[in-house]
Structure 1
Amino acid sequence: MPADPRPVLVAPDAFKGTLTAAQVAGAIGRGLERAGVPADLCPVADGGEGTLAVLLTALGGETAGTRAHDPLGREIAAGFALIEDGGTAIVEVAEASGLPRVAPDERDVMAASTFGTGELIAAAVDTGAAVVLVAAGGSATVDGGAGAIEAIQAAGGLRGARLVVLCDVRTPWEEAPSRFGPQKGASPEQVRELESRLRALGRDLPKDPAGVPMTGAAGGLAGGLWAAFGAALEPGAAFVLNTLDTDTRMRAARAVVVGEGRLDRTSLQGKVTGELATRARQAGIPCHAIVGQDALDPFDARILDLQEIVQAGTMDDLQRAGEALAAIL
């Protein structure tokens, strides 16, 4: 029987803190191709960190930069991307307001601000972009977007540009402090104070984000931009997968490989790994996972219907995992 000429769609997310989505996809793809199986490399993201790189690589465009402020108000050089001949800009919240911008012993969630993200949005508007995609994830903040709103208003507003916030969670506004505050160093008392702050901010905004799905993304930044500027809120994973035309590419593949740094229950809650695995199951296409750490319980694994879950944390391990996978396809 002749070999199956169809490729394997290799569509991992980044292994956060260690490897980019493109690095993971490349290593798995090399393993598959070394074993004689063609690979369609499709690095993905869920609207959080890494979204800019994934979309810029797939769609083409250019990067731009400006001076902005980090979560604690220190001036930094920060970047954003322009695609579609400059008609659309991509701003990652993590670029100026991300947790990696603040050393562990400096983290102060009560003082941390999204002002720098607002500066990046304003700089993107200055280039003439009609749409600004805001990848909301990985922030060091729970300020409800108050800093970003202030920066945008100080720069003269959006001037006709439209905001689309790509959300990596469905958390509503009022749950952002309890859900994300502890991850960013908030004590139980500080969580309660942050909840009080968001309630007050919600009352002062043109409309209250409380109860609206996805408004809690990036510590409430999504809700602040939704309320203050009418930003559209989109599930980030679905947006990225649709933009990359993964459904068409999946139907042309013999199998799909997903991946992320840690596979666990949260993978079923809006993350791109769970979204793509679900699409593969619905299309009747075998789906395999190569991950840094497998913490998924058997019940959740059955929900995703993953054929194989392989742990591989380094580039060499990922390549070997790709070779091993080729042998069973």
Structure 2
Amino acid sequence: MTDPATIVVAPDSFKGTMSADEVAEAVAAGVRGAGASPVVVALADGGEGTGQALRNALSAKLITVPTTGPLGQPMDGSILLSHDGTIAVVETATATGLHMSSPTPANAEAATTYGTGVLISAAAAAGASEIWVGVGGSASTDGGRGAIEAIADGGGLGSAKLTVLCDVSTLYTDAAPIFGPQKGADPNTVARLERLLTEFAQQLPRDPRSIPRSGAAGGLSGALWAVHDARLVSGIDHVLDLVKFDEILSGADAVITGEGRLDAQTAHGKVISGVTERALRHATPVWALVGRCDVTDEERRALHITTVAEAGNPTALREAARAMTAAAFG
């Protein structure tokens, strides 16, 4: 009797709709329905859900921290602290998240990373020697000004070292034209934000404008690099290394990954691109389930995705995963 096929289920969250855990649960149910064996590893690339993706790997505990949202509203945020207290994880989306601010020109210009800076400062105060900052899903394009001010107000970082988990490779001032419209910025607002980013970059101890990944979270990553000597790394690669993804792939027959939207940004640091790059090394086929597909067949092939299907809710995800698995291994 042939052993059932092993399918690695490794999705990102569908932003604002389903968490990575929820997506993975639905996909795994479909894989089982087709008679295959799923191996589940919910992922994130520095954006929404990064804390949850890292929590189990670090045996981390959640600590509540009073902070402020992107428009200055008081709120409870949180940080993760590893079991030995040496590593803290701060997720920008929990304090400066796009979902916390209506996408209007006024909000796009007013949104600040101050609340994220409060969380970073709290992580240092908790005694962490390493602070990992996931910077996707931000409502702000303040160039990191708010976070830098909050860290200074909190007394600095002491000897703690920062690593910024970036979900894009965008340059500092490009954050305004590329991501500003998603945050509600109209053309005039985008132009003002570009000027503000340029002016702030020139005030920093080091100019971040030519540094890859410096535009993540509206320039937050670049400011942390310039002021606090942060390392800017690929968020998805950092997560994949921590969960030992290459070891998981070594016994797999296929991978099902996914995210809310497959588009031109996917290739620049998103979960799907990280998964396909690792799978290619193992000659493991990759199938993608996405809420929306905005790439051509040629672009899909360039991403090394064997097949893609749109599925925007748990039922659709389950049925699509079952159909994909049955077609390949039924």
What band does the TM-score fall into relative to the shorter chain? over 0.9
- What code does the residue aligned with 2:284 have? I
1:239-318 superposed matches below 5 A: 239-318=238-317
1:26-37 superposed matches below 5 A: 26-37=25-36
Match for residue 62 of structure 2?
63
What secondary structure does 1:181 align onto?
helix
Structure 1 residues 149 and 235: CA distance shift in structure 2, 3 A: same
Match for residue 40 of structure 1?
39
Taking the aligned partners of 2:102 and 2:193, their CA distance within structure 1 comes to 21
1:189-204 superposed matches below 5 A: 189-204=188-203
Contact 2:105 2:189 in 1 (8 A): no
Structure 1's unaligned 5+ residue stretches are none
1:1-329 superposed matches below 5 A: 2-5=1-4, 7-104=6-103, 108-327=107-326, 328-329=328-329
Structure 1 residues 3 and 18: CA distance shift in structure 2, 3 A: same
Contact 1:145 1:224 in 2 (8 A): yes
Contact 2:12 2:20 in 1 (8 A): yes
1:31-62 CA deviation, whole Å, 9 max, x = no partner?
A: 21233211110111111111111111343211
Taking the aligned partners of 2:174 and 2:34, their CA distance within structure 1 comes to 48
Taking the aligned partners of 1:137 and 1:212, their CA distance within structure 2 comes to 17
What secondary structure does 2:173 align onto?
helix
1:267-294 CA deviation, whole Å, 9 max, x = no partner?
A: 1122110221132123211111122222
Taking the aligned partners of 1:201 and 1:226, their CA distance within structure 2 comes to 13
Shift of 1:323: 1.9
Contact 1:281 1:304 in 2 (8 A): no
Contact 1:177 1:195 in 2 (8 A): yes
Taking the aligned partners of 1:175 and 1:293, their CA distance within structure 2 comes to 25
Aligned CA RMSD, in angstroms, stands at: 1.5
Taking the aligned partners of 1:107 and 1:247, their CA distance within structure 2 comes to 44
Contact 1:10 1:42 in 2 (8 A): yes
Shift of 1:104: 4.0
Contact 1:62 1:83 in 2 (8 A): yes
Taking the aligned partners of 1:64 and 1:123, their CA distance within structure 2 comes to 10
Shift of 1:87: 1.1
Shift of 1:106: 8.6
- What code does the residue aligned with 1:28 have? V
Shift of 1:107: 5.1
Shift of 1:89: 0.8
Taking the aligned partners of 2:177 and 2:103, their CA distance within structure 1 comes to 19
Taking the aligned partners of 2:97 and 2:116, their CA distance within structure 1 comes to 9
Structure 2's unaligned 5+ residue stretches are none
Out of 134-143 and 102-111, give the one that drifted further: 102-111
- What code does the residue aligned with 2:280 have? R
Taking the aligned partners of 1:263 and 1:15, their CA distance within structure 2 comes to 11
Out of 36-45 and 213-222, give the one that drifted further: 36-45
Shift of 1:301: 1.2
Contact 2:108 2:183 in 1 (8 A): yes
1:245-267 CA deviation, whole Å, 9 max, x = no partner?
A: 11111111111111111122221
Shift of 1:305: 2.9
Out of 57-66 and 153-162, give the one that drifted further: 57-66
Contact 2:105 2:185 in 1 (8 A): no
Tell me the matched-pair count: 328
Shift of 1:84: 4.1
Taking the aligned partners of 1:107 and 1:66, their CA distance within structure 2 comes to 27
Contact 2:16 2:99 in 1 (8 A): no
Shift of 1:9: 0.7
